[in-house]
Amino acid sequence: MDAELLLDARAVLGEGALWDASRRRLLWVDIEGREVHIFDPAGGDDVAIDVGQEVGTVVPRARGGLVLGLRRGIALLDPASRELTMLADPESHLPDNRFNDGKCDPAGRFWAGTISHRRQPDAALYRLDPDLSVRRVLEGVVNSNGLAWSLDARAMYYIDTGTHRIDAFGYDRDTGAIRNRRTVVDVPDAMGKPDGMTIDADGMLWVAHWGGGRVNRWDPGTGRLLSTVLVPASRTTSCAFGGPDLATLYITTARTGMTAEALAAEPQAGALFAVRPGVQGLPAFEFAG
Ligand code: CA
């Protein structure tokens, strides 16, 4: 399968694709461009909101508005007024780190991790609960990325790109506790590094592979590769099912760090891509706070 160009956005570091099912729009971010994007696939409009600092992730809030992971912490954004409200900055002592990928769990908690630009295991995974308290739930992280929960809500899948693996934890929906980390896929280097991730209605994982120009569908039960969507931009960063039938896979890409020669070979780097792979996704969870 091949992904097709949807929006030639030229994002520096396109990331964080998430379908906002309540409002039928695709949320995504340009981390290094410091923008939250709201894309309407029906009309083709893409609205960019400059948030003034690197933004690693965006999720919808059930009561309206958005929750962001920023360079300097977790914040609420009112997209109409563009007002930012900072909630917490748990790594103010680590100025080289910033928030990266994040997602809400089945109980409406917002999980977001950080990335160490020194590539040291001093990053972490955090959880923002509906009462707006923040806790550190996993330490020793290098580059916190994809998150997904199993259909029965008993497992949480997690990618620390620094490990080149897809891992799983036992997950307790009532308390949000995670335990018993295990590896479900060891990703071969030739496929690129595992980055963003989503889950489909069959419980299979779709993973964007940075440097691999692809999104792979993996079976977390067997570790087997099931299928591949090729993307004409090697820095493939995240993916999300969306559209009215949740059957379109939206894919973000990046052009950061590429030479002029590499960009000439991949002129669509930084674009949004889409493909209809023949399976459906699940609606993303919203922040319940
Ligand atoms: Ca990422």
- Is residue 60 within 8 Å of 23, Cβ to Cβ? yes
Asked if residue 100 is part of any domain, the answer here is yes
Residue 246's alpha-carbon distances to 114, 156, 157, 198, 277, in angstroms, are 29, 21, 20, 12, 11
Asked if residue 285 is part of any domain, the answer here is no
Q: 219: Cβ–Cβ under 8 A, 6 or more apart, which residues?
A: 204, 205, 226
Kindly state the tokens that stand for 53: 């600092």
CA 159 – ligand 1 centroid, Å: 9
CA 244 – ligand 1 centroid, Å: 25
203-225, pLDDT tens digit by residue? 999 999 999 999 999 999 999 99
Looking at residue 20, its pLDDT comes to: 97
Given 30, 101, 160, 195, the catalytic residue: 195
Kindly state the tokens that stand for 192: 């690129």
- Is residue 112 within 8 Å of 99, Cβ to Cβ? yes
CA 238 – ligand 1 centroid, Å: 6
- Is residue 274 within 8 Å of 253, Cβ to Cβ? no
Asked if residue 288 is part of any domain, the answer here is no
Asked if residue 266 is part of any domain, the answer here is yes
Containing domain of residue 132, as a range? 4-275
124-145, pLDDT tens digit by residue? 999 999 999 999 999 999 999 9
The domain that holds 241 is classified in CATH as 2.120.10.30
- Is residue 50 within 8 Å of 37, Cβ to Cβ? no
CA 271 – ligand 1 centroid, Å: 15
Asked if residue 72 is part of any domain, the answer here is yes
pTM: 0.98
Asked if residue 286 is part of any domain, the answer here is no
- Is residue 182 within 8 Å of 167, Cβ to Cβ? yes
Domains contained in the chain, number = 1
Q: 90: Cβ–Cβ under 8 A, 6 or more apart, which residues?
A: 73, 124, 126, 134, 136
Asked if residue 289 is part of any domain, the answer here is no
Closest residue by Cα to residue 178 from 71, 106, 282, 88: 106
What radius of gyration, in Å, describes the C-alpha atoms of the chain? Answer: 17
Spell out, as residue ranges, where the chain has pLDDT lower than 70. Answer: none
Looking at residue 275, its pLDDT comes to: 98
Asked if residue 284 is part of any domain, the answer here is no
Looking at residue 229, its pLDDT comes to: 98
CA 253 – ligand 1 centroid, Å: 10
Looking at residue 71, its pLDDT comes to: 97
Looking at residue 117, its pLDDT comes to: 87
- Residue 195: active-site member: yes
